[in-house]
Amino acid sequence: MNPTLLGILNMTEDSFSDGAKYLAPDAALAHADALVAGGAQVLDLGAASSNPSAKPVPPESEITRLAAVVPTLKKKGYSLSIDTFAPDVQRWALEQDVDYLNDIQGFPFPELYSSLARSRAKLIVMHSVQGLGPATTVSVPPSEIYDRAVRFFELRLPALERAGVSRDRLVVDPGMGLFLGKERDASFTILRRLPELKQAFGLPVLVSVSRKSFLRTLVGRDALSAGPVSLAAELFAAARGADFIRTHEPAPLRDALKIWARLEGNRP
């Protein structure tokens, strides 16, 4: 259990858990430092929220927000991921030579593939039931969700490889929370079946459960008090083989993983 930790840095007005808190560049940079100090090995920067009630952000506004911090973060030597589903923003991110590109739509636009192929960035290819755009409140039976995710990856991953994206640059994200529909058990089903997903594709898997509503509604917590439930699900995901965990709070997860390793007789 030694997943790479991605620290979530939302430079947005209306993210469900910390909207507007890190919109100002100085606040974003300070939080980036705190995330890295807390154990984040990669910073996942998002400048447009994907929750169902968020207002659209024009690509030029996304780029302006990101451009205010990316050069400084790169100078500090931080590993960067850009979380965006806007093709123009993705092209801009590739020009900045970022380490990861994270797309909740799973890179659906073939016209972008040549640019993806020429870059060195690892691609976090996410499955979502809505296909395009932010999360929605559609209903998908939990009994169908795993097969839907597998079918998505069976089509999308070969398409990226045929375009010249090498397989060792691909990371699979099955989606969580509302990205899997409004049925809470869909997310629990995917978490339980992570080993099958890893075996099916032989690729690293990313999990992002931090502060998600499917956890919060089960125990009656709001986003800011969802640390313990997030940590429980993150540890379960790590035990099930998650290679990357995207989290708002890397420090508790880093510490918990260290204790887990010692309990199993591993060091440190």
Dist CA 268 CA 262 (whole Å): 7
The model's pTM is 0.93
- How much is the pLDDT for 159? 97
In this structure, are residues 267 and 242 in contact, taking their beta carbons and an 8 Å threshold?
no
DSSP state of 53: T
- How much is the pLDDT for 180? 93
How does pLDDT run along the chain (268 residues), one tens digit per residue?
799 999 999 998 765 566 578 889 999 999 999 999 999 999 999 998 776 666 778 899 999 999 999 999 999 999 999 999 999 999 999 999 999 999 999 999 999 999 999 999 999 999 999 877 666 677 889 999 999 999 999 999 999 999 999 999 999 999 999 999 889 999 999 999 999 999 999 999 999 999 999 999 999 998 888 899 999 999 999 999 999 999 999 999 999 999 999 998 876 5
- How much is the pLDDT for 136? 67
- How much is the pLDDT for 130? 83
Dist CA 228 CA 132 (whole Å): 31
DSSP state of 77: T
- How much is the pLDDT for 149? 96
- How much is the pLDDT for 54? 65
In this structure, are residues 223 and 16 in contact, taking their beta carbons and an 8 Å threshold?
yes
DSSP state of 54: P
- How much is the pLDDT for 51? 67
Domains and CATH numbers, the chain: 4-263 (3.20.20.20)
Q: State the burial class of residue 75 (Cβ atoms within 10 Å of its Cβ: 0-12, 13-18, 19+).
A: exposed
Beta bridge partners of 245: 5, 207
- How much is the pLDDT for 134? 67
Give phi and psi for 236, each to the nearest 5.
-60, -45
Distances (CA, A) of 131 to 107, 127, 192, 209: 10, 8, 23, 19
Of 13, 44, 29, 25, give the one whose Cα is nearest residue 250: 44
Sheet of 4-10, strands arranged across: 170-173, 122-126, 100-103, 80-83, 42-46, 4-10, 244-247, 206-207
Tokens of 41: 């090995």
